Amino acid sequence: MTIDTDNHHFSSDGTHCYARGKRIAQADAASFQRVEVSPYLAYDCRNVYAISDAREGLIVVPGLDTAALYWADDYVFSTLHDVYAYNYHFVEHANDRKYASDARVVKAIAFRHRAFSPLRDLLLARYPDTVGWWHPDYPWHAVALRACGDAERSGYYSYGDSSFYLEEMNSGEMLAHYLPLLQSGARQDLNAFYAKSATQVYYQYRAIDADAASFVVLGGKFAKDAHRAYFNGYPVEGADAASFEMLPYPDAPTRATRFARCKHQAYVTKTQRIGKFQGYANVLVPIKGADPASFQPVNHAWAKDKNHVYEDGIPKAQRCAADFHVIAINGSDIWATDSRGLYNANGRRVVKGAESGKFVALNSFWFSNGTLVFSALTERLMPSIDAASFEVLDDQGTARDAQFEYYVYHQPGWEAARGDIRKRKRKPGG
């Protein structure tokens, strides 16, 4: 690839290299090249460099074989098996990015050709003698097509000595990712997310730096080896591997949990930037101030220890850890109460006016604490109802107090989950 003299972002004086006039400390001047097709990219024998609009000004991408990179346009480049995208802030695997008018840029072996034919055709025209994923003679085309056609769900797939990870996209299409470091005969599938050989661990299609000999899966995306803990294939910073454990939900132990702990701290999942230039991912982060010994999840939204209730990992001073508990699960609405209020996990809502707390679910329609009555259907306190005499009559929402009978009204065409509470005067003796 020749140097692009119109690339004004990068320059070299033969001894040092510069990005927008600032010296690049990591650059090797002898091998430094600017990319012909992109004014934003350059590389040397060590790294790829990209101009960033963020305050750091420069993205440094290590770990790629820069002698075998293939440049598509301003924002996309490829290896023989992988596609990478650049968006001014970081460079990442281009697994589901938009390209051209109707295409997804997908990682390496995605064999629905019509979905990314502009990129394939561009690379084939530019590198006709290089047998990468874009080339008709690429040896894994037929294998991956067969794998995508046979597979019913995501997971690992073998063909001869070759291994693939099949990924189901939102469109329902299967994408096959070739795993060059994992021969199928030596592969041990640990679950739907992790596989390993004697020397290499993979999370889905991503090779991770872990000790294969001691690597074990704890459940779902949680794993550990002798030295570190992992979630979603990423190391959990500061975790003690020996004591690290995932924490299932009490009411749904098989559901994928957001919480874990070790002897030092408790953790919750959070989507955040990983590293400095690697984009965003769902990772485990420490919960500040949590007591790991007493920490336990309540459900996907809440957890508590001996001192605090946490909402998405954030301590809530107005909650009472001693008596906070779930009282009802109505579809997506999960209701909890304590001595200070009434709360809904769906939307992380606090019911105003319910500060007296200590509600009990009478059924899925009605909650009461003996002083106030709350309609779970309309999600409103009902101050006109006499709580002392209130009683439910059936599981369809019918109830009564000393003066009135209350029932659920559904307007024609409304869904069952929608409705209103109406009342009528009780008949004498009724």
- Domain boundaries of the chain, sorted by first residue: 239-317, 318-430
What's 373's DSSP letter? E
- CA-nearest of 230, 257, 239, 206 to 195 is 206
Torsion of CA 156, 159, 161, 165, to 10 degrees: -20
pLDDT at 174: 62
For range 264-278, the mean pLDDT: 82
Q: Which helix (H) or strand (E) holds 117?
A: helix 113-126
Tokens standing for 3? 């140097």
At 102-122, the pLDDT tens digits run 222 233 333 333 345 677 888
Tokens standing for 357? 């707390």
pLDDT above 90 for 280? no
- CA-nearest of 235, 195, 185 to 216 is 195
pLDDT above 80 for 15? yes
For range 225-252, the mean pLDDT: 95
Look at 18-22, 106-110, 165-169 and tell me which has the smallest mean pLDDT.
Answer: 106-110
- CA-nearest of 327, 411, 417, 423 to 378 is 417
| Half-sphere exposure of residue 385: CA atoms within 13 angstroms, side-chain side | 28
Look at 68-82, 105-119, 233-247 and tell me which has the smallest mean pLDDT.
Answer: 105-119
pLDDT at 241: 98
Q: Residue 168 and residue 171: Cα distance in Å, rounded?
A: 8
> Given pLDDT bands bounded at 50, 70 and 90, which one contains residue 97?
very low
- CA-nearest of 54, 45, 106 to 277 is 54
pLDDT at 212: 96
Q: Residue 266 and residue 260: Cα distance in Å, rounded?
A: 6
Strand order in the sheet with 349-350: 325-330, 333-338, 341-344, 349-350
Q: Which residue has the higher pLDDT, 33 or 64?
A: 33
pLDDT at 116: 57
pTM, rounded to two decimals:
0.73
> Given pLDDT bands bounded at 50, 70 and 90, which one contains residue 64?
confident
pLDDT above 80 for 413? no
Look at 125-134, 166-175, 238-247, 264-273 and tell me which has the smallest mean pLDDT.
Answer: 166-175
pLDDT at 79: 83
Q: Residue 366 and residue 84: Cα distance in Å, rounded?
A: 53
- Give the phi and the psi of residue 147 in degrees, each rounded to 5: -60, -45
pLDDT at 90: 46
pLDDT above 90 for 61? no
pLDDT at 242: 98
> Given pLDDT bands bounded at 50, 70 and 90, which one contains residue 143?
low
Q: Whole-number mean pLDDT of the chain?
A: 83
Residue 123 three-state SS: helix
Burial class (CB in 10 A: 0-12, 13-18, 19+), 34: buried
Q: Residue 225 and residue 104: Cα distance in Å, rounded?
A: 35
